[in-house]
């Protein structure tokens, strides 16, 4: 795999995050994909469950700013580091580590996220 495929997938992920359109979310994942919101959370299995889980905990469009960079890309697995800022009251931010497995068509087969809340200043 190359960084170009990861970059394209991440752009589609951020678009889906901001649109919350089921078709945008579905397009990211294979039929049998597994999505873990935390390493030990009960996973969402399959596109339908991923869309349901996503929309049950969705962020509203424009509520977040997300920056990311690849840490490693090897074969079908990618590791990215990100930072999510929430523009809400009170504001908050999270640091993220994502492990993403992509198939040959650039769809995700497995997604696991680790997130850590950034301490508030002061």
Name the band, by pLDDT with cuts 50, 70 and 90, for residue 1: low
What pLDDT score was predicted for residue 3?
80
CATH assignment of the domain containing 67: 3.10.450.50
Considering the chain, what is the average pLDDT of its residues?
94
pLDDT tens profile 13-52 = 999 999 999 999 999 999 999 999 999 999 999 999 999 9
Its domain, for residue 45, covers: 3-117
Is residue 4's pLDDT more than 90? no
Task: Tell me whether residue 113 is in a domain.
Answer: yes
Total domains in the chain come to 1
Task: Tell me whether residue 122 is in a domain.
Answer: no
Which of 92, 104, 107 has the alpha carbon at shortest distance from 35?
107
Task: Tell me whether residue 41 is in a domain.
Answer: yes
Is residue 2's pLDDT more than 80? no
Please say whether the beta carbons of 63 and 84 come within 8 A.
no
């Amino acid at each position: 795999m190359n960084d170009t495929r990861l970059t394209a997938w991440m752009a589609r992920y951020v678009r889906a995050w901001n649109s919350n359109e089921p078709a945008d979310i579905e397009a990211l994942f294979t039929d049998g994909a597994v999505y873990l919101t935390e390493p030990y959370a009960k996973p969402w299995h399959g596109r339908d469950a991923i869309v349901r889980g996503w929309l049950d905990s969705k962020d509203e469009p424009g509520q977040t700013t997300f920056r990311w960079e690849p840490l490693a890309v090897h074969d079908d697995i990618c590791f990215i580091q990100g930072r999510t800022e929430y523009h809400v009251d009170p504001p908050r931010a999270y640091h993220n580590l994502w492990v993403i497995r992509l198939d040959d068509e650039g769809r995700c087969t497995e997604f696991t996220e680790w997130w850590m809340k950034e301490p508030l200043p002061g």
